[in-house]
Structure 1
Amino acid sequence: MSSTATPDPESETGRPAVPPSGAPASGAADGPLAALRGEADAVLRGLAGDTARLREDQWRAVAALVADRRRVLVVQRTGWGKSAVYFVATSLLRARGAGPTVIVSPLLALMRNQIDSAARAGIRARTINSANVDEWDAVQAEVADGAVDVLLVSPERLNNPDFRDTVLPKLAAACGLLVVDEAHCVSDWGHDFRPDYRRLRTLLGELPRDVPVLATTATANARVTADVAEQLGTGTDDEDALVLRGSLDRESLTLGVLRLPDAANRLAWLDTHLPEMPGSGIIYTLTVAAAEEVTAFLRSRGHVVASYSGRTDDAERQAAEADLLANRVKALVATSALGMGFDKGDLGFVVHLGSPQSPIAYYQQIGRAGRAVDRADVLLLPGREDEAIWRYFASLGFPPEDQVRRTLDVLADAGRPLSTAALEPRVDLRRNRLELMLKVLDVDGAAKRVKGGWISTGLPWRYDAERYARVAEARGREQQAMRDYIATDGCRLEFLRRQLDDEQAAPCGRCDTCAGARYGDDVATASLDAARAALGRPGVEVEPRRMWPTGMTDAGVPLKGRIKADEQAATGRALGRLSDIGWGNRLRPLLAADAADAPVPDDVFGAVVQVLAAWGWEQRPIGVVTIASRTHGTLIDSLGARLAEVGRLPWLGRIEYAPHAERAPARSNSAQRLRALADAFVLPPEAAAAVREASGPILLVDDRMDSGWTLTVAARLLRQAGAGEVLPLVLAVEG
């Protein structure tokens, strides 16, 4: 949490402040409010230092919460001091006998920062989240005993059956203040919509009317602000509500865009210029694969950096956060998993290797920098892979009505709770999309999460096609806005502020279009050579499937439990990942749905040979088998034939589609994919005889691996035909 400044005679919005209960704007009223202001500033000094004093809008929010027990929505820039409002209000309310503050907070990094901040002011804070399950009983006992001032809860807890039915009612009854942090997550118009946040309606409905509510966010345009206000009961038409929306200017930030020719030049630029960047900072990437790739490269070049993503376990995340806070690393190379809540006042730079698909999301992430320093550098290095990644994330939106209705019908017919794993064989949706849809249905009252899974409530439900279409259109406009941001010759910060409907937006005088570029596009020759070598280095391990999906017998497929050891594939290899910034950029157009089916290009084939040379298998393959393809048959067969020729191996044949085989659904979940593929392939008799006669490891060649079930089913056929081992080789791995 950043320290706060002495208030100006006007509020942060630039308009004369209208204080609660008619108190003067300066906060210098006689009587109870003056005393309250003195108490509030005293608490703040414990948080932010001896010279700290509440800003005018901070004081207005605190007074509204403590003196008038109102509902308040605060939309203020990152670093303004929103957390100071709820910690000061908590201290004052607790001193007046109120129950503990409940803060709904979306990220563990944010929770850890807030607990540390609270301790500095003598506020006892605890948390209940997925990372401390073993402590839940003890924490709940401390809350019941009055030993906790602040309880931080992840939004996912709000719909955990035990928490929702047992803990939540007690919290609602005892709560002295409810805080909804990062409140833009409530809105499906927001860049980071989270259905679990919508459960706050239930909690708000159970709160006594005199319990104050504070919602805070730094990234909400007018539409999102209105939506959040409506959902949290803090709309401007509510006479009990106070909406405080301030300027989004960040005087310390210097924004710029560098358009470099390719991924190698972007990595080389980082290697060349990272030592020049002020202090320590964050390098954002769009995918986990890119984060790991960039981290490995920078470390190989001697930079002290750490990777931070959704794939990083909690202990490693905590260590990475601590290292950045203590300046033991130059940068965290992070995905949006570090997008909200990480509080390091002296963070000196934020670099994006790839463009987020929303100006609001971009403003959120760059807001981590420059909160307590005079200068912080913000740079965007867009890449040609950005648009493909945007399209992938767009495909994860709310499903079409027929899939939603199908899910509700399955739940209604089951007669018992169904887990997401049990639903997958019956519903053609991937796990993350299925879970998001169920959470929305839960909020809408059509489904409910209970012990053991999900049930249908049987209540009427309407598919709001118009709203979903408008949200999709809004996402398209946001993507265009990011293209416009990259191309603009106007002030970059003003552009972002206008995207967030900041009426005070004006040229900053600091960005590369206002004052000239702070950094050039030059790269050191050694850096570029090293980057090209790193990105051109082929080879990714492909882990085989070990278990069949849950519930396949219910889908009519007699497969369950562990895949027999003598029917499994071995660990395979891929040339690269489609989501990485090295081989991914070469493979995406080659394997695109509309790409021409042609023989494997020489450069790709040469890289595959390098992968084989570095494989290190215990026994050399004795033959090559390819898998039939409806889209890339020529590509796959040419790859298999050339590998057989170069390796002096026999081509033993092709695994073909069975006559009855239907096209497997694209982007379906694991169970649906297996259901479609379980009996979709056959090994022709002559190929089976060749495999049986060869009696040794087989190199199994395909174009890509997505769910992994094509390779699993094909390998099982080969093992059943007598193959000693099956070594999968694909050009690309999805994800």
Structure 2
Amino acid sequence: MTTTAQTDVRARAEEHLRALVGRDDATLYDDQWAAIAALVVDRRRALVVQRTGWGKSAVYFVATLLLREQGAGPTVIISPLLALMRNQIAAAERAGIRAVTINSTNADQWAETHEAIARGEVDVLLVSPERLNNPGFRDEVLPRLAATCGLLVVDEAHCISDWGHDFRPDYRRIRTLLDELPDGIPVLATTATANQRVTDDVAEQLGGSVVEEAPRGRHETLVLRGSLDRASLRLGVVRLKTAEQRLAWLADHLREQPGSGIVYCLTVAATQEVAAYLRDRGHDVAAYSGQTEQTERLELEQALIDGRVKALVATSALGMGFDAALGFVVNLGAPDSPVAYYQQVGRAGRGAIDEASVVLLPATEDRDIWAYFASLAFPREELVRDTLAALAKAGGPMSTPALEARVDLSRTRLETMLKVLDVDGAVRRVRGGWEATGQPWSYDEERYRRVAEAREREQQAMLDYLATDRCRMAYLRAQLDDPELVADPSWTCGRCDRCGGLALSADVSDEAVGEAAARLARPGVAIDPRKQWPTGLSAVGVSLSGRIKQPAEEGRAVARLTDLGHGTALRALFRAEPAPDAVPVPLAQAMVTMLRDWEPSVDAIVVAESVTRGPLLGDLAAGLSRFLHRPVVGRWAVSDPSVPPGRGATNSAQRVAAVSRRCALDLDVPDAVEGRRVLLVDDLVVTGWSLTLGAAALHDAGASAVLPLTLAVSG
């Protein structure tokens, strides 16, 4: 294309940009135009790594309009989050772009959407990555889209790479889709959070890479990386010793934060606990997590966008792509890497916000939570081989629940592993479940080890961020291998607490600390009874199925291990080796307080036997007997010590089978629980199946009701 023709295309692109952003003076950045020219003029592949708010969506929407004017098919955008899809559709409609989505929540609209695409009435189709491996979509819809789309966009492309902070197996299927695209279909990948290693990995999966200088071959990928400085963000860290001080800081200083924003927590339990405390202190906040019902999530997101709440107290479920003009982000607890932290703080300071406050309140228990999430990494080879063997033996499709009964993995880890094996070609998702392909597969232990080591280095880098005496934004940019910082390593932002541009008080009021301490000291977490036996128990030799005829009643634990208050003492208790012989006094006092609130009506006590914490449980049961004036009449005993105590802990069917073999009811006299309400005492709830089976055995022995009680719940 001639220079004059390119000038004409750029002029037309900027007309579309002005319609998109609603400003008559808007012009394209040079890198925006470079990406658009690569897609529209050269029909090539491009990877754009630019900061949040830079205008990556403008690139693919303007390119879509230009390509549609040239007669190209619709743009297909692979987008990871429903909230992000909603924002993208709203932005597209402002520019007159006809956008629709196919995702798990609108299955009733799929047929209509497919017909609209066939009639040429759709400019942009947004698809969740999970759709790529839905058998019907993959085999029937995807081939047509690959053949007819005008542009393929991979949003949040760092998810492709297992070096990225938010790797998703479904994204790896995009490589297969790329291989099936006809020549001349341009591809754009975008992300705001990728260091050089992730950038190189994504570019390789797109098809080679050259930074800045555009190669001539259409199958080479143009990589455009810009400065990741966020000029609106003022970064700071406030280090406080106790959980009650951190909560009190929020209560005392939340109103000082500009506008509305997000308070990020590391766990779902923390979002609920913190939101409840802040509401009691007069703040207009709400809890938000992946467990929040979908309709409520939409309402809460809109309330935050409209400024009708001061803050959402959220997990990272309120993350990528959420677009609002937010004045602050506070992290109560540190994410496990600077890259993940940059992703979260990028929610603030967008749009018309010139200055946004970003505060991190780290906690010593952060590392415990990091360790828990690290335990969910790719399973060891033995478990992968067990899965492949079970599928091969089945000789046909197996559903995930049926397979779960044969493999000692939780549902989430099993499904994630199957997706990886699917991409690797060892299994295939089909109607009815999964099947083995018979293709050879090797366990890439070296790669998994290197990924784990990289995660450990990132965790240390996050700890170093807390302690650094250098510019905080410069530190984050360095962790992201920002090319402009490499060129100017002495750069400082002038805005953070290290540069003197942000002064953060660590003062907290005695009143707020007192109320926080009272809330955190308030013990008591409900233990919800299991109501249904897991599917597939017959496959592991257990003749139980369907609804549990006589489930336990709702029980109580002092706290969750992840709680901000008693969680710290409980984590220390269960980490101790050897286990103490007696319940520590503060936890014993918390147990008494909880019992006074709960007031369980029981006639007798049965205690679970433990090989590793036997004296501790004996002390707990004896103390309960003295306080409640009720006798200990038996044990949920270890009858087969050859079954390890944690066997099957990640998988319901496997756990029921293991506990059924390991434990049996041992009563002092045969009719010890006949017609009685029994308190069933254990130390820790992990899956709940040991208590469930113990309750079933007590009901079989004549108990009229069973109430579980433990020191802790793991979640």
Question: Which residue matches 1:524?
Answer: 509
Question: Which residue matches 1:647?
Answer: 628
Q: Is the aligned partner of 1:443 residue 2:423?
A: yes
Distance 1:127 1:635 in 2: 55
Contact 1:286 1:354 (C-alpha < 8 Å) held by counterparts: yes
Q: Tell me the CA shift for residue 679 of structure 1.
A: 3.1
Give, as a single letter, the amino acid of the residue that structure 2 aligns with 1:357. D
Q: Is the aligned partner of 1:707 residue 2:690?
A: no
Distance 2:319 2:415 in 1: 22
With over 3 angstroms needed to count, the CA separation of the structure-2 counterparts of 1:593 and 1:450, relative to structure 1, is farther
Question: Which residue matches 2:331?
Answer: 352
Cα deviation, 1:458-493, whole Å, max 9, x if unaligned, reads: 011111111111101100100000010011111111
With over 3 angstroms needed to count, the CA separation of the structure-2 counterparts of 1:516 and 1:249, relative to structure 1, is closer
SS at match of 1:626: strand
SS at match of 1:209: coil
Q: Select between 512-521 and 429-438 the one with higher mean Cα deviation.
A: 512-521
Distance 1:392 1:238 in 2: 47
SS at match of 1:341: coil
Q: Is the aligned partner of 1:336 residue 2:333?
A: no
Cα deviation, 1:132-178, whole Å, max 9, x if unaligned, reads: 22222222221122111111100001001111111111111111100
Question: Which residue matches 2:493?
Answer: 508
For structure 1, the residue ranges without an aligned partner over 5 or more in a row are 1-20, 24-28
Question: Which residue matches 1:368?
Answer: 347
Question: Which residue matches 1:535?
Answer: 520
Distance 2:605 2:309 in 1: 47
Give, as a single letter, the amino acid of the residue that structure 2 aligns with 1:65. L
SS at match of 1:682: strand
Q: Tell me the CA shift for residue 667 of structure 1.
A: 4.0
Cα deviation, 1:176-209, whole Å, max 9, x if unaligned, reads: 1000000000000000000100111221122111
Q: 2:569 aligns with which of 556, 561, 586?
A: 586
With over 3 angstroms needed to count, the CA separation of the structure-2 counterparts of 1:593 and 1:548, relative to structure 1, is farther
Question: Which residue matches 2:247?
Answer: 267
For structure 2, the residue ranges without an aligned partner over 5 or more in a row are 486-490
Distance 1:612 1:696 in 2: 19
Distance 1:85 1:495 in 2: 28
Cα deviation, 1:574-628, whole Å, max 9, x if unaligned, reads: 11111121221121111226352221122212211222222255xx201111100
Question: Which residue matches 1:209?
Answer: 183
Q: Is the aligned partner of 1:638 residue 2:619?
A: yes
Q: Is the aligned partner of 1:572 residue 2:539?
A: no
Cα deviation, 1:302-322, whole Å, max 9, x if unaligned, reads: 111122111011111111110
Distance 2:584 2:669 in 1: 27
Q: 2:120 aligns with which of 112, 133, 146?
A: 146
Distance 2:234 2:641 in 1: 61
Q: Is the aligned partner of 1:560 residue 2:545?
A: yes
CA-based RMSD: 1.4
Give, as a single letter, the amino acid of the residue that structure 2 aligns with 1:33. Q
Question: Which residue matches 2:652?
Answer: 670
**Within 5 Å, which residues of 2 pair with 1:372-383?**
372=351, 373-383=353-363
Distance 2:616 2:641 in 1: 24
With over 3 angstroms needed to count, the CA separation of the structure-2 counterparts of 1:167 and 1:259, relative to structure 1, is same
Q: Is the aligned partner of 1:49 residue 2:32?
A: no
Contact 1:72 1:234 (C-alpha < 8 Å) held by counterparts: no
Contact 2:635 2:667 (C-alpha < 8 Å) held by counterparts: no
Question: Which residue matches 1:682?
Answer: 664
**Within 5 Å, which residues of 2 pair with 1:393-432?**
393-432=373-412
Question: Which residue matches 2:257?
Answer: 277
Distance 2:274 2:640 in 1: 45
Distance 1:44 1:524 in 2: 50
Q: Tell me the CA shift for residue 239 of structure 1.
A: 3.0
Distance 1:581 1:300 in 2: 17
Give, as a single letter, the amino acid of the residue that structure 2 aligns with 1:500. L
Contact 1:661 1:681 (C-alpha < 8 Å) held by counterparts: no
SS at match of 2:336: coil
Q: Tell me the CA shift for residue 660 of structure 1.
A: 5.5
Contact 2:579 2:616 (C-alpha < 8 Å) held by counterparts: no
Contact 1:597 1:631 (C-alpha < 8 Å) held by counterparts: no
Distance 1:685 1:530 in 2: 45
Distance 1:684 1:278 in 2: 62
Q: Is the aligned partner of 1:39 residue 2:21?
A: no
Contact 1:324 1:332 (C-alpha < 8 Å) held by counterparts: yes
SS at match of 1:529: helix
**Within 5 Å, which residues of 2 pair with 1:536-551?**
536-551=521-536
With over 3 angstroms needed to count, the CA separation of the structure-2 counterparts of 1:137 and 1:688, relative to structure 1, is farther
Distance 1:715 1:238 in 2: 71
Q: Tell me the CA shift for residue 517 of structure 1.
A: 4.5
Give, as a single letter, the amino acid of the residue that structure 2 aligns with 1:681. C
Give, as a single letter, the amino acid of the residue that structure 2 aligns with 1:254. R
Contact 1:425 1:675 (C-alpha < 8 Å) held by counterparts: no
Q: 2:637 aligns with which of 656, 661, 665?
A: 656
Distance 2:261 2:467 in 1: 25
Q: 1:462 aligns with which of 414, 426, 442?
A: 442
Distance 1:422 1:627 in 2: 30
Give, as a single letter, the amino acid of the residue that structure 2 aligns with 1:643. L
Query: With structure 2 as the length reference, what TM-score do the two structures score?
Result: 0.96
**Within 5 Å, which residues of 2 pair with 1:609-628?**
609-615=592-598, 620-628=601-609
Distance 1:660 1:277 in 2: 57
Q: Tell me the CA shift for residue 351 of structure 1.
A: 0.7
Distance 1:687 1:183 in 2: 64
Contact 1:417 1:452 (C-alpha < 8 Å) held by counterparts: yes
Distance 1:138 1:583 in 2: 53
SS at match of 1:678: helix
Question: Which residue matches 2:488?
Answer: none
Contact 1:697 1:725 (C-alpha < 8 Å) held by counterparts: yes
Question: Which residue matches 1:5?
Answer: none
SS at match of 2:673: helix
Contact 1:105 1:154 (C-alpha < 8 Å) held by counterparts: yes
SS at match of 2:188: strand
With over 3 angstroms needed to count, the CA separation of the structure-2 counterparts of 1:497 and 1:557, relative to structure 1, is same
Distance 2:648 2:453 in 1: 23
SS at match of 2:592: helix
Cα deviation, 1:343-402, whole Å, max 9, x if unaligned, reads: 11x211111100111111111111111123211111111111100011111111111112
Q: 1:307 aligns with which of 270, 287, 311?
A: 287
Question: Which residue matches 1:697?
Answer: 677
Contact 2:266 2:332 (C-alpha < 8 Å) held by counterparts: yes
With over 3 angstroms needed to count, the CA separation of the structure-2 counterparts of 1:191 and 1:208, relative to structure 1, is same
Q: Tell me the CA shift for residue 547 of structure 1.
A: 0.9
With over 3 angstroms needed to count, the CA separation of the structure-2 counterparts of 1:486 and 1:660, relative to structure 1, is closer
Give, as a single letter, the amino acid of the residue that structure 1 aligns with 2:659. L
Percentage of identical aligned residues:
60
Distance 1:660 1:606 in 2: 33
